[in-house]
Chains A and B, each alone.
Chain A
Amino acid sequence: MLRIRNLRSGYGKIKVLKNISMHVEPGEIVTIIGANGAGKTTLLSTIAGLVKATAGEAEFKGSNILKTQASAIPGLGCVMVPEGRQVFATMTVEENLLLGGHVVQKDGKHVLLRLLQRQYELFPILRDRRNQLAGTLSGGEQQMLAMGRALMSRPSLVMMDEPSTGLAPLIVKEIFQIIVRLRDEGNTVLLVEQNAKAALGIADRGYVLETGKVILQGPADDLLANQDVQRAYLGREKGEEK
């Protein structure tokens, strides 16, 4: 579905991504873990077209997305849930969701309304808050709104940037359960997380990023069991149980 080869990107003279290659297949949760500054967010932003790549290829469902304008990528079926939610604070919950359906609205109002109902089923709290300004929601609710908003575009690939940031552990658990549910319903998820343990816990495969390079990759269970990963990202020393 998504295929990236030798991708390089960065901000001006600062090179963040150095030769990244990875792929995402339909129906899986793929996670990208790594420390602060490893380039996780830059990788998602580059795929989403918000940061320009300097070299390499990125192919989404057969089309070269590095040459596509950022605003045209959601129309192809690849949508991002940005870090820190970034809901439209001065618009109501429902308006946020409808704006998320911007690219499908040309298919008719009934499609949009059906999608809206679908998000309300997935996130019942959003139905209760539908006429509330998005800025007045709690962090967890905003995260759900950001996810629902992204799903309004009927994406085939959802990219999530650190959905657990700043949320209470209980809420994080709920969010991750929803991600699993999305996968089980046939969606594909690319999940960037600092919370490596939680992310690997639900993912099918994972990539470990360090200073702009993929240093490890494989099935999530293998990564969870890997001693280097445990030491560096899960805070466990050799031989220590739990």
Chain B
Amino acid sequence: MKKLLSILPLLVVVIGVHLLTSATDTMYYLTQMTMSAYYSLLIIGLCVLMGYAGQISLGHAGFFAIGGYLSAALTTHSLIPHQNTTLVGLLDSAGLLLSGQNLYGEALLVVTPWAACIIAVLTAAIIAVIIGIPVLKLKGHYLAMATLGFGIIIYRVALAMEYFGEADGISEVPPFVLMSGLSVSGNFSDRVQNYYIAWVLLLIGMVLLLNLIDSRVGRALRGIHGSDEAADAMGVNTARFKLQTFVLSAVFAAVAGVLLTHYNGGIGPSEAGVMKSVRYVAIVAVGGMAHLWGALLMGIVLNFLSLRGVFGSYDDAVFGLILIVIMLFAPNGILSLNIRHRLKHFLGRRKQDKEGEA
């Protein structure tokens, strides 16, 4: 309940941003705010994994891509050529298929977005379990490298498979109708409702994670972060907690991938790229690692700036630089820097120097 209250101010800000953009005729900002919200959903999940459980992942763009690509492929590629196979028949009789037409008037038979979403997220979760069991036995650099390897595999698979559109990715992904009158799509007329869909989802995710870290589980995770062995000695099943957190964060990433793909109407291989994973890690670090609110804030701000094109062609370079600067000067995140205190300290010293000279 307290957690619900703590996000109320954010809800007010969300509504405020909408009203402000509509008053100043700058509603186009809502598009990037919507996309930023989805990326931030991935980032808060990664924040719990990295900041609280202390397990780094350089492969989370991979889980995002699994969600996005599977959902895109299932809802876009027509199953008509395979209509007579038992699997398609089964899906059809379960009511999970949808017939329609593509832009050129050809008949289509595709999986419904809801079914595709569930399949995509479940697949990401299962892959997270399969990858997580061996990989989470590793620590530090070794874990970073293993998850990096996973990210590269997903990237190359997306680039290589015709089913996933190779270098072109998948486009013309249909809207995801959540319920009648509410759909995740890039249609101009749905912009405001999509802004709210994304943000409400992000807020729900935030409440879930805030509750998680403030519980027995959260303490256990922080214990694991401190020392695996000491946590084990306290009766914490470290292997299980690490795996569960890994899977949870993968699910957050996959959900973000599914919805952003429907919102954008497509997905390309760059979403699976290693630099995307590095970017997510950098944002969690800027936010202060074990700091969900910091991760959320930085997720929104940095993604928004990046999507608005503020960093230009140097986009990836900026995130690399951010990572270096943060590690050097503010390893506890940018919010940990007490800027006023520092400024005062700095000014005070200069004043003293001057007095010394006099």
Contact = CB atoms under 8 A, between A and B. Distances in A.
B5 interface: no
Contacts of A71: 231-232, 235-239
Nearest to B220: A102
B232 A50 contact: yes
A17 B227 CA distance: 26
A88 B229 contact: no
A91 B230 contact: no
Contacts of B229: 50, 82, 86
B235 A103 contact: yes
Q: Which of B220, B223, B233 has the most CB of A within 10 A?
A: B233
A91 B233 contact: no
Contacts of A153: 234-235
Looking at chain B's contact residues, is the secondary structure mostly helix, strand, loop, or mixed? helix
Interface residues on B, range: 10 to 19
B225 interface: yes
Interface in B130-186: none
Contacts of A91: 219, 222-223, 226
B235 A102 contact: yes
Contacts of A99: 219-220, 222-223, 231, 234, 236
B233 A102 contact: no
A41 B41 CA distance: 45
Contact of A88 (B226, B232, B235): B226
Contact of B235 (A50, A73, A90, A98): A73
A27 interface: no
Contacts of A73: 235
B234 A105 contact: no
A148 to B, nearest CB: 12
A69 interface: yes
Nearest to A146: B230
B222 A50 contact: no
A70 B225 contact: no
Contacts of A75: 235
